[in-house]
Amino acid sequence: MPHRKVIRSWLAPIVARSTPLAMALVVLDLVLFGLALAATIAAGNIVAKVLLGMLTGFIIGRLFILGHDACHQSFTANRRLNTWLGRLVFMPSLTPYSLWAVGHNVVHHGYTNLKGFDFVWQPHSLQEFRALPRWRQKLERLYRSGWAPWLYYMVDMWWKKMYFPSRKQMPTRRAEFIWDGVLVSVAAALWIGGLAWAAQAGGQSFWTLLLTAFVVPVLFWKAMIGFVVYVHHTHVGVAWYQDKSEWSAAQPFVSTTVHLTFRHGIGAALHHIMEHTAHHVDMSVPLYRLKKAQKLLETMLPGRIVIQKFSWRWYFDTARRCKLYDFDRLCWTDFKGRPTSAPLRAVVERAVVEAA
């Protein structure tokens, strides 16, 4: 495996940022969000309202992906513009910008799949799982059932680590953390207040509008992001590490990331965030260049990148197999500690020797 600097040099001609293109994407998705929300409010049928609320949640996801790029300073050519655009497009997802930046840019990207550092879908060992209280064991079973990515993201990521986190979750205290929490709280209050006005003006039930035009979109968005962050780095061919030297030798910016492929233009609808290896190799690649960057990497590094064609069968099989992790053998196990994937110990040890 070439050094990361060498691989990033291959991508150098691709990373150019286009402010006009970025602004066009922001305007497009904000308009789509407004139209979807207005359609949800206007629809007369409860089923239509729920479906349109889910569509609104999907568009919230698109806006969040734009903000994710802006937070990486890879969206436009202007750093200050990126910061304020990021805050703007994060508001529908109620994501505090500065806290996302710390947890995602610094921790997740800096230590992807390293136990004790990267907290995103970090698996327990069998011993750790058995030491958990009974209620937490049940919660872990629910999280890793395949049916509850929304709950995992809402509780263990958003509530605990981003929305006014405790000192235990975020020992560092910054004024911008508080103000970004206030900002998304005001956004939520204005959203709900607007629905109350619309309900009164249109003679509708406020509680129906609150459910279909706020709760459904937010829960759909949380399910979407919980699913995305799970499949980005959870795969039977992807390892987790507790030894930092092993982790470093395994070239984690490539080996711990999955390129999940979709049919029917879904990848493009997700702003190419699933071309995720290229993003981890070089965070400065804009989302509108990721497809080209990913193709280049897969050409230059044949057999090195985990590429997975998406299907619901694959997803639920992964959820069935990837419950706990054996950090000694480097393999996934079920909740009883029985291996469910091939041990990667020999592969990693060979990489360590080659790196030395």
Q: What is the predicted pLDDT for the residue at 315?
A: 97
Predicted pLDDT at 169? 84
pLDDT at residue 144, as a whole number: 97
Sequence ranges of the domains in the chain? 4-355
d(CA 345, CA 339): 13
Q: How confident is the model at residue 296 (pLDDT cuts 50, 70, 90)?
A: very high
pLDDT digits (tens, 9 = 90+) for 173-225: 889 999 999 999 999 999 999 999 999 999 999 999 999 999 999 999 999 99
**pLDDT exceeds 80 at position 353:** no
What is residue 350's predicted lDDT score, i.e. its pLDDT? 64
Count of Cβ atoms closer than 10 Å to residue 263 Cβ: 9
Reading the block at residue 66, the tokens are 């734009």
pLDDT at 185: 97
Q: Is the pLDDT of residue 286 over 90?
A: yes
pLDDT of residue 245: 85
Supply the pLDDT for residue 351. 60
Please name which of 266, 234, 255 lies closest in space to residue 61, comparing C-alpha atoms.
Answer: 266
pLDDT of residue 218: 97
What's the rounded mean pLDDT across residues 245-254? 85
- Residue 249: per-residue pLDDT: 84
Given this model, what pLDDT does residue 254 score?
A: 87
pLDDT surpasses 90 at 354: no
Three-state SS string over the chain comes to: CCCHHHHHHHHHHHCCCCHHHHHHHHHHHHHHHHHHHHHHHHCCCHHHHHHHHHHHHHHHHHHHHHHHHHHCCCCCCCHHHHHHHHHHHHHHHCCCHHHHHHHHHHHHHHCCCECCCCCCCCCCCHHHHHHCCHHHHHHHHHHCCCCCHHHHHHHHHHHHHCCCCCCCCCCCCCHHHHHHHHHHHHHHHHHHHHHHHHHHHHCCCHHHHHHHHHHHHHHHHHHHHHHHHHHHHCCCCCCCECCHHHHHHCCHHHHCCEEEECCCCHHHHCCCCCCHHHHHHCCCCCHHHHHHHHHHHHHHCCCCCEEEECCHHHHHHHHHHCCEEECCCCEEECCCCCECCCCCHHHHHHHHHHHC
- Pairwise pLDDT comparison (309 vs 348), residue with the higher score: 309
- The larger pLDDT score, comparing residue 255 to residue 124, is at 124
